[in-house]
Amino acid sequence: MIRSGWQNRISALFAGLVLCAAASCQPHNPATLTSQERAWLQAHPVIRWAPDTGYPPIEWVEPGGTVKGLAPDYLTLLGKKLGVRFEPVVCADWKESLAALQGGKVDLLSNLTELPERRDQMLFTQPYLDVPSILLTRVDDGVKGLEDLGHRRMALERSYVVVDMLRKAHPTIDIVEVDSAEDALQQLALGAVDGTIADLAQASWTIQHRQLTGIRMVRRLPEYPSQFAMAVRRDQPVLRGILDKGLQGISNNERQELHRRWISLQVLGWHPTAAFWGLLGGGVGLAAMLLVLLWNQTLRNRVRSRTLELERTTQALVAINAELVQTITEVKTLRGFIPICMRCKKIRNDEGYWGQLEAYLSAHSEARFSHGYCPECIPIAQAEMRRELGMPPA
């Protein structure tokens, strides 16, 4: 399912959607119909066409039978200009639509890619839509192109012209055929397949309206068809000529209005060129470089901040450790029983000799002693000294 990065990019992709090839889709001044063409239109006031039932926003059929999309709007405008009515004949699927054209049940198909193998079966107008084909994969997949898919699974719509082309160009890819491009995108969103190919218009429309997430656009595929024309029966060359002249007679403003109705182009009158795609690629590359530089700077700032924090923590630990070492150095603890004389207060050392208390403590600790008399002992000491000196008592 696709929203995330796609959600913000879809509007930009729509703005860059190539709906008219610069060389083949630019309108010209309306061409005058010949007498044969005018007579044909008078004899055929209703022209039947088989719409694609599931190709939004270009063309699709709603559950109630209403045909919508950009291609039907082109036919409605052509009908007004030519004075005829285009009547849709809804078929079950695209194969049935092709069969209806070849069997004479309808007069034209409104959007079809001209291929060499189809020219023997139908006649084509000049292309009037140009929609890029794109490769889509999961957002967490590092695929950069079709060559990276190897033996992985890719969902494609049945009868899609890309199916046969992909099988020839990349025979190892496991192609899973589904009923529609929407089904292919949903399979990709659910992770049932690894990729799909769709045109930019349909992929963007489906992603927005079905709120799919987890899909990313990898790249454009210029090697796959992207131009669409109208196809008529081989026995109706006059109709082909009429449609070509009618399409040429559609003005730029009319085209813009049709496109804006379905794809909301942000810049009116703008058509992408080769120079635009080159600038776009350069801009994307520059943006990517700026993002990389910004991310690297962010990482450097984080590393610098973390390093300073670690240095401060290390300094604090070193100070605490030094303090502990100093404390341990200054303090020694005496443990166990110490033999001491009850009368003279001498202490027996570890070798069994008796000595003064201060000598023992000095040997077993870092303590140092200074000698003096307490107030109670001063008179006693003085009397002893007088006796020793033969002096009379005080």
Q: Comparing 9-23, 61-75, 110-124, 200-214, which segment has the lowest mean pLDDT?
A: 9-23
Residue at 163 is within a domain: yes
Q: Domain range for residue 281? A: 274-331
Q: What is the pLDDT of residue 19?
A: 43
Looking at the fold, whether 117 and 199 belong to one and the same domain comes out as no
Average pLDDT of the chain is 83
Residue 188 lies in a domain: yes
Q: What is the DSSP letter of 146?
A: G
Q: Is residue 299 domain-shared with residue 372, that is, in the same domain?
A: no
End-to-end Cα spacing for the chain: 113
Greater confidence, 24 or 368?
368
Q: Is 255 among the domain residues?
A: no
d(CA 27, CA 29): 7
Confidence of residue 22 (pLDDT cuts 50, 70, 90): very low
> What is the reported pTM?
0.58
Domain annotation covers residue 89: yes
Say which range, 58-72, 119-133, 216-230, 276-290, has the weakest mean pLDDT: 276-290
Q: Do 166 and 44 sit in the same domain of this protein?
A: no
More confident residue, 358 or 36: 36
Of 12-26, 162-176, 196-210, 303-317, the one with minimum mean pLDDT is 12-26
- 155 shares a domain with 49: no
User: What pLDDT score does 70 carry?
Assistant: 95
pLDDT exceeds 80 at position 78: yes
Concatenating the DSSP letter of every residue in 208-249 gives HHHT-BSEEEEEE-TTS--EEEEEEETT-HHHHHHHHHHHHT
Lowest mean pLDDT among 14-28, 105-119, 336-350: 14-28
Q: With respect to residue 268, please indicate whether it lies within any of the assigned structural domains.
A: no
Closest CA to 261 of 73, 86, 26: 73
Q: Are residues 319 and 343 in the same domain?
A: no
* CATH code of the domain containing 189: 3.40.190.10
Number of domains in the chain: 4
- The answer to whether residues 107 and 39 belong to one domain is yes
User: Does a structural domain hold residue 103?
Assistant: yes
Tokens of 121: 């079966």
On the question of pLDDT at 327 being above 70, the answer is: no
Q: Is the pLDDT of residue 337 over 70?
A: no
- State yes or no: pLDDT of 1 exceeds 60: no
41 and 176 assigned to the same domain: no
